[in-house]
């Protein structure tokens, strides 16, 4: 009943737009990375020059270290903490749905507003320092110190993201048969034993999935840094993509920025492939 011209009729506009804003840019990003494109001077091919420059560039090295540091701070927390939260909100308690909605809400808040709220929270005379003062910590400017800026940004990411992963785990938990827990309780298993021996093995695929998703998210993050610290102080919070953004749109060195973003893409691709390997092994 359908003819080929029907299919192409529907696909025409979508394919034009996809070509312009997805297919061609993907190829163009790769091509640009071998050029000196900077908007003003004529385009010239440089071969591997941009890539060589990247690996000698101190600020790129720093950005890589920063990105890995941010990833180590964020991903383990976002993999583990939401499991506990999901177990917590998976109980039949009065008002539990309201708690789920509250925890999820920060996911919907624009990065600009998140940045505003948390700049004030982390201010020298802000709430974070007030709470820490009970533990005898002297107040200081979290976002103004090269040693504390990344942990502070990581905390904001965890604050904003734990409700998102909580939902994923919640879906996984609802697939765990209840009689497993009942049997364990009869055997006298406590909270930790029950979840260590039943929950964790049962939701393992989801734990894996969350680890991958949050890893990708961590490697790509830059709008939080752009809005909260602009990469400062002293580039201590400049991530790889923030460097791409700065090189491309502030220094207009788009060829070099493309090379950096392709190195990042290679890293993300490797992570995806390792992930697929591990998943295949499981099956």
Partner 1 sequence: MSHSIAANPSKDGNKRRKVFNKLISYFFLLLLTCVTIVPFLWTVSISLKGQNDVIFSIPPQFIPNTFTLDNFITVWNTLPIPRYLLNTVILTFFGVVLPLILCSFAAYPLARMKFKGMNIIFLLIIATMMIPGEVTMIPVYLVIDKLGLMGTYTGIIITSAITPLGIFLMRQGFQEIPKEIEESAVIDGANVWQIFWKLMFPMVKPMLGVLAILCFISSWNNFLWPLLILDDPNMYPITLGLYQLQGAFSANTRLIAAGALIALLPVIIVFVMFQRYFIEAAYSSSVKG
Contacts to partner 1 from residues 84-143, by CB under 8 A: 85, 88-89, 91, 93, 96, 99-113, 116-118, 120-121, 123-127, 129-130, 133, 139
Question: Applying CB under 8 A, which of residues 26, 48, 196, 274 lies at the interface with partner 1?
Answer: 26
Instruction: State yes or no: residue 65 binds partner 1 (CB under 8 A).
Output: no
Q: What's the count of helices (H) and strands (E) in the chain, helices before strands?
A: 15, 0
Question: Alpha helices of 174-253 — where are they, by DSSP H?
Answer: 178-186, 191-194, 200-202, 204-220, 223-228, 240-245
String marking each residue 184-213 x if it binds partner 1 according to CB under 8 A: -------------------------x--xx
Give the Cα separation of 118 and 281 in Å (integer).
42
Both tokens of 184, joined, read 């364990």
Question: Applying CB under 8 A, which of residues 1, 175, 186, 280 lies at the interface with partner 1?
Answer: 1
Q: How far is CA 220 from CA 19, 107, 143, 227, in A?
A: 23, 17, 21, 15
Q: Choose the binding region for partner 1 from 54-62, 174-182, 193-201, 262-270 (rule: CB under 8 A).
A: 262-270
Count of chain residues binding partner 1 (CB under 8 A)? 88
Give the Cα separation of 164 and 185 in Å (integer).
30
CB 248 within 8 A of CB 257: yes
Pick the closer one to partner 1 by CB: 149 or 224. Answer: 224
CB 66 within 8 A of CB 238: yes
Q: Find the binding residues for partner 1 in span 231-260 (CB under 8 A).
A: 241, 244-245, 248-249, 254, 257-258
Both tokens of 51, joined, read 């890539």
Give the Cα separation of 37 and 47 in Å (integer).
13
Q: Choose the binding region for partner 1 from 63-71, 174-182, 195-203, 214-222 (rule: CB under 8 A).
A: 214-222
Question: Applying CB under 8 A, which of residues 36, 59, 148, 223 lies at the interface with partner 1?
Answer: 223
Distance in Å, CB of 173 to partner 1, minimum? 13
């Amino acid at each position: 009943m359908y003819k080929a011209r029907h299919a192409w009729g529907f696909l025409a506009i979508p394919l034009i737009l996809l070509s312009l804003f997805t297919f061609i840019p993907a190829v163009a990003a790769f091509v640009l990375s071998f050029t000196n494109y900077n908007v003003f001077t004529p385009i010239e091919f440089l071969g591997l020059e941009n890539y060589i420059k990247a690996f000698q560039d101190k600020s790129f090295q720093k950005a890589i270290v920063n990105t890995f540091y941010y990833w180590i701070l964020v991903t383990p927390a976002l993999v583990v903490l939401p499991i506990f939260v999901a177990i917590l909100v998976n109980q039949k308690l009065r008002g539990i749905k309201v708690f789920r909605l509250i925890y999820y809400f920060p996911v919907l808040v624009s990065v600009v507003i998140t940045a505003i709220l948390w700049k004030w929270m982390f201010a020298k005379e802000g709430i974070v320092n007030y709470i820490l003062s009970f533990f005898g910590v002297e107040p200081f400017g979290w976002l103004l110190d090269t040693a504390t800026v990344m942990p502070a940004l990581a905390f904001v990411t965890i604050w904003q993201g734990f409700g998102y992963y909580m939902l994923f785990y919640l879906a996984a938990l609802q697939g765990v048969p209840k009689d497993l827990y009942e049997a364990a309780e009869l055997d006298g298993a406590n909270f930790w034993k029950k979840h260590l021996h039943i929950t964790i093995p049962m939701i393992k695929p989801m734990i894996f999935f969350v680890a991958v998703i949050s890893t990708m998210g961590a490697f790509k993050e830059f709008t939080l840094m752009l809005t909260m610290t602009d990469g400062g102080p002293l580039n201590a919070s400049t991530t790889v993509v923030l460097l791409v953004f700065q090189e491309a749109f502030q220094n207009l060195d788009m060829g070099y920025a493309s090379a950096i973003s392709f190195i990042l893409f290679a890293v993300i691709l490797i992570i995806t492939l390792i992930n697929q390997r591990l998943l295949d092994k499981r099956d």
